[in-house]
Chain A
Amino acid sequence: MKFLLYLGCTTATKQYGYELSLRATLPLLGVELEHPKDMNCCGVPMKGISKFYPYYACARIMALAESQGLDIIAPCNGCHLNLTETIYKLKLNPLLMSAVNELLKEEGLKYTGKAMVYHPVEILHDKIGIEKITSSIKRKLPEIPVSSHPGCHLIRPTEFPRPETRDGPLKLDRLIEAIGLKARDYPEKYECCGAAILPYSPEAAIKTAAFRIKRALAVGSKAITSLCPYCIDMLDGKQDAAKTITGDQNISIPALYYTQLLGLALGLDEKELGMSLNMSPVEVLLEEVKV
């Protein structure tokens, strides 16, 4: 299986731990990753500036993938949502499709709707499969309760197909159990991390993230895991700010990418998985995971 790795801005500019762990784990499970030579922003934070920019930007990304004859892996929830929405809306609206293609033609590109987009959770759960994961891991991690935070855009909106659904167990939870950990539900599981409030009011955004962390701690989770760079940026990178803003010194929980946990189970070194870049106390979890 070969895919084009479309990282998106957040993963490629600051969440290096995600990129490192993706590049380290997926090839071990038989997924080949191609690095793109030409890419642009998907337009999620720019939706408020212009309704049409995301259509053009995403169609451009899909057209680039199509020119290489590959499907896309979009590790960011925002990018995945926007790319899927563009495919869906352009297929429904031929007028929009031809208008966007009119622009792409000038760049020597064409989008026909052939290329598809996948999120790592789909790649791991549907393409690779739980069985392959359980048979390829070097060792099972101990039964530590871990909470998953799938992130809004993996579930919503229901207008077009999303990788996860609120009806029934999450794919992410099944993946957590596959490597030996215990998936622990918590009340804020399907809630927003607050990343998109950051440009308007950083304080409000960090309060939101702090609330999520407190609830995860309350149910006795030992870690929060996600596959969204925005969620981990908020839940992992903003813990110190959350302590200052809320005045609650108990806000401290390891928050890391699922691919980092998977890497540990696959026997990879924590340095290879970029775990020194996590700002939350991941060393606490590493201590417990090491046998």
Chain B
Amino acid sequence: MLFYLIGGWIFTFKFSLEDAVKELRPQLCYQCMKCSSGCTAAKVVNNYRPHEIVALVKAGYSDELINSDVIWACSVCLKCVEYCPQRVSPFEVVMALRNESIARGRVPPKSFVEMAKSVLKVGHIQEPMYIMSKDFEEVSRMELGLPEMPKPKDFEKFKQHVLLVGFEKLKEVIRV
């Protein structure tokens, strides 16, 4: 764990679920289900209901949620953040659970692993692709006359910092 000493304050990039829960106050939730009624993911993913997730965290079942894949279904539409009359923000609760699951060394769904690998390799979630046009031509950035996609200049330093701000455990698990 790395600490940064700044003007007498100790700031750490380590994430803790307890702190997040304290800050997000899911105990204020009174289960009005407004979040689930608007939720994009709840309409298409069977067992994903934000109000249930908040209720489970409130009742102390965070471990079970962290070990389940369902927390990765959120579509980041942020409607629950706006709808909640208690300002609980189920979105932030889900993100805190995801962060904790990564910190405990669980592997996220495959696409997230691919994106994280790419960030550690080129600094972007994916590399420029060949795209099939309507005339069945495969085109790349170069063929379209677009300039090259920039990468972080000092890549080693960038990678070191990415690992420091929370990718360390994930890197160990996915073995990049």
Contact = CB atoms under 8 A, between A and B. Distances in A.
B161 interface: yes
Nearest to B92: A51
Contacts of B170: 49
A31 interface: no
Contacts of A39: 123, 149-152
B54 interface: no
Interface string A83-127: 000000000000110110011001100000000000000000000
B124 A9 contact: yes
Contact of B15 (A45, A51, A96, A197): A51
The 8 closest A-B pairs by CB, nearest first: A50-B166, A199-B111, A192-B77, A48-B98, A204-B44, A156-B78, A192-B40, A52-B165
A148 to B, nearest CB: 17
Contact of B40 (A51, A103, A208): A208
A92 to B, nearest CB: 14
B126 interface: yes
Given A39-B151, A48-B99, A200 B79 contact: no
B59 interface: no
Nearest to A108: B154
Contact of A13 (B6, B112, B149, B158): B149
Interface in A19-48: 19-20, 23, 35-41, 44-48
Contacts of A51: 15, 95-96, 99, 166
Interface string B32-47: 0000000011011100
A199 B45 CA distance: 13
Contact of A40 (B98, B123, B167): B123
Contacts of B144: 16, 20, 274
A9 B15 contact: no
Contact of A14 (B13, B45, B131, B166): B131
A246 to B, nearest CB: 11
Interface in A241-291: 274, 276-279
A207 B44 contact: yes
Nearest to A230: B76
Given A9-B125, A156-B81, A49 B98 contact: yes
Contacts of A41: 119, 123-125
B167 A53 contact: yes
Interface residues of A, number: 63
Given A13-B124, A106-B157, A46 B115 contact: yes
A40 to B, nearest CB: 4
B27 interface: no
Contacts of B60: none
Contacts of B153: 37-38
B79 A192 contact: yes
A158 interface: yes
B164 interface: yes
A277 B131 contact: yes
B116 A49 contact: yes
A45 B167 contact: no
A50 B124 contact: no
Interface in B1-46: 4, 6-7, 9, 11, 13, 15, 40-41, 43-45
22 contacts: A13-B129, A16-B131, A16-B146, A38-B151, A39-B152, A40-B158, A49-B99, A53-B162, A98-B11, A102-B4, A103-B161, A107-B158, A156-B79, A156-B81, A191-B77, A197-B40, A197-B75, A199-B72, A204-B45, A208-B75, A276-B133, A276-B135
A103 B127 contact: no
Contacts of A152: 76-79
